[in-house]
Amino acid sequence: MHVPDGFLDVPTSVATAVVAATAIGLSLRGARRELDDRAAPLAGLVATFIFAAQMINFPVAAGTSGHLIGGALAAVLVGPWTATLCLTVVLLVQGLLFADGGLTALGTNITLMGVVAGWTGYAVFRLALTLLPRRVGSVPLAAGFGGFVSVPVAALGFAGLFTVGGTAPIDPGTLIAAMVGVHTLIGIGEGVLTALVVGSVVAVRPDLVHGARRLRATAAAAAAPASASAPAEAATTRPGPTP
């Protein structure tokens, strides 16, 4: 998914850089509402994990491989605003130190992976939670759905950008079919990895998972009246002293 230098013309690259810069500015403000003393260290761990995981490619088809994007994973674990910042740091380091994705295409890569993939994955995650049982155990499955959908949507976004500002004469229909088809297969791997990682964190520290906070708050609110009424019921049923 990393777009190298020279794939898009200058106006398109500049436009995506403006989109990326705007998203980063908004994310710096939005992340303040998502991060606290407990979640901030997790954001660093998420960025480190995604950086390492993107270096590992898995085979998809003959001559084709894919890697984790991590946008949906980060959004579920630390929130969508913070996820955009995590992916920005990862892509910046990869571009500067490892030449993975071009520097002139940095805005494009941030837009596709940090914005489109992350926010699409989080939106699908929230939608899936409304369809699944309202319990914390549904979070990994919903995250897996978000991870799966985020990849072909990001690929479709690249196909749209290349159709507008690509530097090679490729038929748009052929490009869209190829990008979405291959990245749908990659999305399966993304969904499985996302569900496994989120499930591991939920099993150990569900209080740290951003996507589980509402469910935990709802469960706590529902349990509070029951726990408050238990002493009263015990008092009314306790036998009085015998004369």
Give the CB-side neighbour count of residue 125, counting CA atoms within 13 A. Answer: 31
pLDDT tens digits, residue range 28-78? 999 999 988 888 899 999 999 999 998 887 666 555 567 889 999 999 999
The neighbouring-strand residues paired with 64 are 61
Domains of the chain listed by start with CATH number: 10-227 (1.10.1760.20)
Q: What is the pLDDT of residue 223?
A: 62
Question: Is the pLDDT at 4 greater than 70, yes or no?
Answer: yes
Q: What is the pLDDT of residue 38?
A: 83
- Measured at the CA of 193, the angle between CA 110 and CA 139, to 5 degrees, comes to 95
Q: What is the pLDDT of residue 229?
A: 53
CA distances from residue 192 to 24, 121, 148 in whole angstroms, order as listed = 28, 13, 8
More reliable by pLDDT, 226 or 131: 131
Burial state string for 204-214 with b = 16 or more CB within 10 A and e = fewer than 16: eebebbbbbbe
For residue 175, the SS3 value is: helix
Q: What percent of the chain has pLDDT over 90?
A: 63
Q: What is the pLDDT of residue 61?
A: 59
Question: Is the pLDDT at 219 greater than 90, yes or no?
Answer: no
Cα–Cα dist 73/121, whole Å: 8
Confidence label for 178 from pLDDT (cuts 50, 70 and 90): confident
CB 167 within 8 A of CB 8: yes
Confidence label for 12 from pLDDT (cuts 50, 70 and 90): very high
The DSSP secondary-structure symbol of 122 reads: H
More reliable by pLDDT, 50 or 220: 50
pLDDT tens digits, residue range 125-167? 999 999 999 899 999 999 999 999 999 999 999 999 999 998 8
CB 98 within 8 A of CB 6: no
Structure tokens at 147: 């991870």
The DSSP secondary-structure symbol of 103 reads: S
More reliable by pLDDT, 241 or 68: 68
Cα–Cα dist 192/147, whole Å: 8
CA distances from residue 211 to 78, 156, 172, 197, 243 in whole angstroms, order as listed = 8, 26, 36, 13, 58
